[in-house]
Structure 1
Amino acid sequence: MKSERPYKRTDRVANEIQHILGQIQTKFIDLSDLGFITFSHVTISPDLKNAKVFFSVVQKKKSIVDIESEMNSKAKVFRKYLGQELQIKFTPTIKFFYDETISYNQKLDTIFNNLDKKN
């Protein structure tokens, strides 16, 4: 039987995880010593047991490597709170990755702005 939903269950669960992680960050886990962190997107394995959480940082107070390392050291705490909110059988293991999309887009904007100034 084919699903009538416009997107897959993994997409729905990933969106829910992203939303819950944002709430956890504001209510329970202080990340202000790292900078202003936002969760840009989440991908989850088809068996819903592993989640890759991509984050971006504004006003970073440490290097990206240090921030990513510290985020991954707090993954178990995030998972604990996630398990209390997420309504699925297993709480996925979380791995944090720095999302380079924003910094890449900023570099492109700088290049295009420089080209506009030259012309």
Structure 2
Amino acid sequence: MANNRAVRVGEQMKKELSDLLIRDIKDPRVRFVTVTGVDVTGDLQQATAFITVLGDDEEKKATLAGLEKARGFIRSEIGKRIRLRKTPELSFEFDESIQYGNRIENLLREVKKEDSNE
């Protein structure tokens, strides 16, 4: 039962975090950010937001620094919007699954091209 609640809270946090990043965060380093998911622990004490950023490694590092600086503001705003007894502690990580999927897709295309050339 607690696991279902953690999933629901994570989905709501994802929605609110996406809205916050679009409308309320004015830091120029935080641009072109997509929230792909939020994992919340079963006790609702910690949350990890998975993000993707459009740009090179330098822009990704700058974006992560901007998000870390705004973490307190983001947490307080999410707390106001979701109304939990205690808002989970928030951390940010890059979502590598999209790059991984693209790499697999490219490898499969290469294999298919090699098979058609034979």
User: TM-score if structure 2 supplies the norm length?
Assistant: 0.83
User: TM-score if structure 1 supplies the norm length?
Assistant: 0.82
Q: Which residue of 1 aligns with 2:42?
A: 46
The count of residues paired between Structure 1 and Structure 2 equals 114
Which AA in structure 2 matches 1:25?
A: L
1:100 paired residue among 96, 99, 112: 96
SS for the counterpart of 1:51 is strand
Describe the superposition over 1:60-94 as per-residue Cα deviations: whole angstroms up to 9, x where unpaired: 47353443333222211211211110121111110
2:30–2:67: 8 Å Cα contact kept in structure 1?
no
Cα pair distance change 1:30/1:104, threshold 3 Å: farther
1:96 deviates by 0.3
Matches within 5 A, 1:20-99: 20-30=16-26, 33-60=29-56, 62-99=58-95
Q: Which residue of 2 aligns with 1:116?
A: 112
1:52–1:97: 8 Å Cα contact kept in structure 2?
yes
1:53–1:97: 8 Å Cα contact kept in structure 2?
yes
Cα pair distance change 1:21/1:52, threshold 3 Å: same
Which AA in structure 1 matches 2:98?
A: I
- Runs (5+) with no aligned partner, structure 1: none
- Runs (5+) with no aligned partner, structure 2: none
CA RMSD of aligned residues (A): 2.1
Percent identity between the aligned chains? 20
CA–CA distance in structure 1, aligned partners of residues 75 and 18 of structure 2: 13
Q: Which residue of 2 aligns with 1:14?
A: 10
